[in-house]
Structure 1
Amino acid sequence: MRGDVENESNSSENGLEMAVIREIYNGVNAHELLESELEKALEAECDTIVIEPQRLGEETARYLYVGDCLQKTVLVAGVGSIVSAHLLEDKPYIYCTAAVISVLGCGLYTCSWHNDPCSKYMVETDPQKLRSRNVLPTSPPPTVLIKKKNGFNQQKNVLTTALSLIAFAFSAFKLYKLVKYVTV
């Protein structure tokens, strides 16, 4: 058997473009070839990418999960910093630590995930949505990536960055006020 990517630019009933990355059973560099085919599909910005090789699909899903968790950590740490700065003004180690975690996480996300073409996708597991995209279940099930709406992704990134910077500035201001009154 040979591995290849099928770019199905012919429209399905929904008019979606689909790329299918098939399993390769021969060759020593099969995994590297599959990774390069996935990169091509991501750069082509296909609406749906079906990854049949289980190892590559699991790695891609894990990569997307880590990026999503990092972004949620930034949001939670930012909100936690602001709330704890209001409630626990005399404990700057709590809200300043949360603000620093938020800013560092935001920087890491921006440098590592934000510009990666893979971050524009999410893993789809809903069988109903998969059927509507003409993805048939197989054994083992493929990993299916669905392209996110671009406006939503940009808004989420702006919100994450803004919240992180606001939390840091607010914590710095609260710390300044605390130090100012302690020294007076």
Structure 2
Amino acid sequence: MEDLSELNDSPSCAIIREIYDSENSHEQFELDLENALEARYDVIVIEPASIGDETSRWITVGNCLHKTAVIAGIGCLFSPLFLPTSWKVLSFSSGAVSVTSASIYGLSWQFDPCCKYQLERDSLKLAKLALPNLTSSSPVILVRKDDSYRKKLQNFFAIASACYCALTLYKWLRA
């Protein structure tokens, strides 16, 4: 791992180099990535394809769970305004999906340091990084982002959906 803070506009940048110098190189790449994530670098460049692909899939699944929780929560809360009363099961189902997705995200991703990063694919932003001497033609670039707004939004819709589902279930059981 290499610290490039003096070569970059970014306060901190780490490059996980793809250098196979021992039998345990893969484990070393993982350790370097874990150290870079815990050190909270602003930019992390992952050259080893296997680690980069695994990390990008992990981030993509987390983003999918987050978006599912928010979109299903919106559907749960606003569908009763537009759908007939006989379709309440759709709102209830949507709320259950929102709560489930938010719960899985909270249990699996919330405390993972990788959830603070997003994949950078914008070529203009990548060109501004001016990363020298990369040995990989397609490295995975992670950029640290403030996700507090995203988490608050997700939790708001998940909690509101849970309240809606609880109220709906209570009404169904009373009837």
Q: Do they superpose with TM above 0.5?
A: yes
Q: TM-score by structure 1 length? A: 0.85
Q: Aligned residue for 1:92?
A: 88
> Quick one: structure 1 residues 80 and 72, their matched pair in 2 at CA, closer, same or farther if it must change by over 3 Å?
same
Match of 2:153 among 151, 154, 159: 159
Q: Aligned residue for 2:162?
A: 168
1:42 deviates by: 0.6
Whole-Å Cα distance in 1 between the matches of residues 38 and 84 of structure 2?
47
Which runs of no fewer than 5 residues in structure 1 stay unpaired?
A: none
- Is structure 2 residue 102 aligned with structure 1 residue 106? yes
Structure 2 matches for 1:19-98, cutoff 5 A?
19-86=14-81, 87-98=83-94
- Is structure 2 residue 119 aligned with structure 1 residue 120? no
- Is structure 2 residue 131 aligned with structure 1 residue 135? yes
What letter matches 1:146 in structure 2? V
Structure 2 counterpart SS, 1:114? coil
> Quick one: structure 1 residues 83 and 102, their matched pair in 2 at CA, closer, same or farther if it must change by over 3 Å?
same
After superposing the two structures, state which structure 1 stretch, 85-94 or 113-122, moved more.
Answer: 85-94
Whole-Å Cα distance in 1 between the matches of residues 156 and 149 of structure 2?
10
Backbone CA RMSD of aligned residues: 1.9
Q: TM-score by structure 2 length? A: 0.89
Whole-Å Cα distance in 1 between the matches of residues 125 and 159 of structure 2?
37
Q: Contact 2:92–2:168 at 8 Å: present in 1 too?
A: no
Whole-Å Cα distance in 2 between the matches of residues 47 and 145 of structure 1?
8
Runs of 4 or more off by more than 6 Å in structure 1?
Answer: none
Structure 2 counterpart SS, 1:91? helix
1:175 deviates by: 4.2
Whole-Å Cα distance in 1 between the matches of residues 71 and 102 of structure 2?
12
> Quick one: structure 1 residues 15 and 99, their matched pair in 2 at CA, closer, same or farther if it must change by over 3 Å?
closer
Q: Report how many aligned residue pairs link the two structures.
A: 173
